[in-house]
Amino acid sequence: MSYLFTSESVSEGHPDKVADQISDNLLDNFLAFDPNAKVACETLVTTGQVVLAGEVKTTTYIDAPIIARETIKKIGYTKGEYKFEGESCGVISLIHEQSQDINQGVDRGTPEEQGAGDQGMMFGYATNETENFMPLALDLSHRLLRELAVIRREGKEIKYLRPDAKSQVTIEYSDEGVPERIDTIVLSTQHDEFDEDEKMLAKIKHDIVGILIPRVKAHLPKNIQKLFNDQIKYHINPTGKFVIGGPHGDTGLTGRKIIVDTYGGKGAHGGGAFSGKDPSKVDRSAAYAARHIAKNMVAAGVCDQVLVQVSYAIGVAEPTSINVETYNSSKIDKNDGEISMIIENLFDMRPAAIEKRLKLRNPIYSETAAYGHMGRTPRTVTKHFSSPYSGDKSIEVELFTWEKLDYVDKIKQAFDL
Q: List, for residues 1-35, the tens digit of each pLDDT value.
A: 799 999 999 999 999 999 999 999 999 999 999 99
State the binding site for Mg(2+). Answer: 16
Where is average pLDDT lowest: 194-198, 233-237, 252-256, 390-394?
Answer: 194-198
pLDDT of 158 > 80? The answer is: yes
In a domain, 90, yes or no: no
pLDDT of 105 > 80? The answer is: no
List pLDDT tens digits, range 31-84: 999 999 999 999 999 999 999 999 999 999 999 999 999 999 999 999 999 999
In a domain, 38, yes or no: no
pLDDT of 109 > 80? The answer is: no
Give the separation between CA 116 and CA 43, rounded to whole angstroms.
24
SS (H, E, C) 352-381: HHHHHHHCCCCCCCHHHCCCCCCCCCCEEE
Give the separation between CA 130 and CA 247, rounded to whole angstroms.
33
Give the separation between CA 158 and CA 151, rounded to whole angstroms.
7
What 3-state DSSP class applies to 391?
Answer: strand
In a domain, 346, yes or no: yes
% of the chain beyond a pLDDT of 90: 88
State the binding site for K(+). Answer: 42
Same domain, 241 and 305: no
Q: Give the pLDDT score at 99.
A: 54
Give the model's confidence band at 388: pLDDT under 50 very low, under 70 low, under 90 confident, else very high. Answer: confident
Give the separation between CA 37 and CA 60, rounded to whole angstroms.
8
* Other Cβ atoms closer than 10 A to 172: 15
In a domain, 63, yes or no: no
Give the separation between CA 111 and CA 321, rounded to whole angstroms.
21
List pLDDT tens digits, range 126-142: 999 999 999 999 999 99
Same domain, 237 and 146: yes
> The domain containing residue 223 runs over which residues?
3-8+136-245
List pLDDT tens digits, range 328-356: 999 999 999 999 999 999 999 999 999 99
Distances (CA, A) of 105 to 30, 51, 58, 217: 21, 29, 17, 49
Mean pLDDT, range 378-397, rounded to an integer: 94
Domain count, the chain: 2
Using alpha carbons, select from 366, 377, 372, 19 the residue that is nearest to residue 164: 19
Rg over alpha carbons for the chain, rounded to the nearest Å, is 22
In a domain, 34, yes or no: no
**Quick one: DSSP state of residue 265?**
T
In a domain, 158, yes or no: yes
Mean pLDDT, range 188-213, rounded to an integer: 92
Using alpha carbons, select from 133, 137, 398 the residue that is nearest to residue 259: 137
pLDDT of 101 > 50? The answer is: no
Residue at a domain's end among 245, 262, 295: 245
Same domain, 402 and 286: yes
State the binding site for L-methionine. Answer: 55, 98, 250, 281
Task: Report yes or no: 360 and 397 within 8 Å, Cβ to Cβ.
Answer: no
Same domain, 176 and 292: no
Same domain, 316 and 385: yes
State the binding site for ATP. Answer: 14, 164-166, 241-242, 250, 256-257, 273, 277
pLDDT of 357 > 90? The answer is: yes
Using alpha carbons, select from 279, 230, 252, 268 the residue that is nearest to residue 402: 279
Q: Give the pLDDT score at 106.
A: 61
State the binding site. Answer: 14, 16, 42, 55, 98, 164-166, 241-242, 250, 256-257, 273, 277, 281
Q: Give the pLDDT score at 219.
A: 95
Task: Report yes or no: 166 and 12 within 8 Å, Cβ to Cβ.
Answer: no
Q: Give Cα 196 to chain centroid, integer Å.
A: 37
In a domain, 269, yes or no: no
Distances (CA, A) of 94 to 15, 45, 52, 54, 355: 20, 14, 6, 7, 28
In a domain, 326, yes or no: yes
Same domain, 285 and 403: yes
Phi first, then psi: give them for residue 315, nearest 5 degrees: 85, -5
Where is average pLDDT lowest: 33-37, 207-211, 238-242, 272-276?
Answer: 238-242
Give the model's confidence band at 111: pLDDT under 50 very low, under 70 low, under 90 confident, else very high. Answer: confident
Residue at a domain's end among 227, 245, 263: 245
For residue 287, the domain's CATH number is: 3.30.300.10
Give the separation between CA 370 and CA 257, rounded to whole angstroms.
10
Same domain, 182 and 293: no
Mean pLDDT, range 290-295, rounded to an integer: 98
Give the separation between CA 402 and CA 362, rounded to whole angstroms.
14
DSSP 324-349: EE-TT-B-SS--HHHHHHHHHHHS--
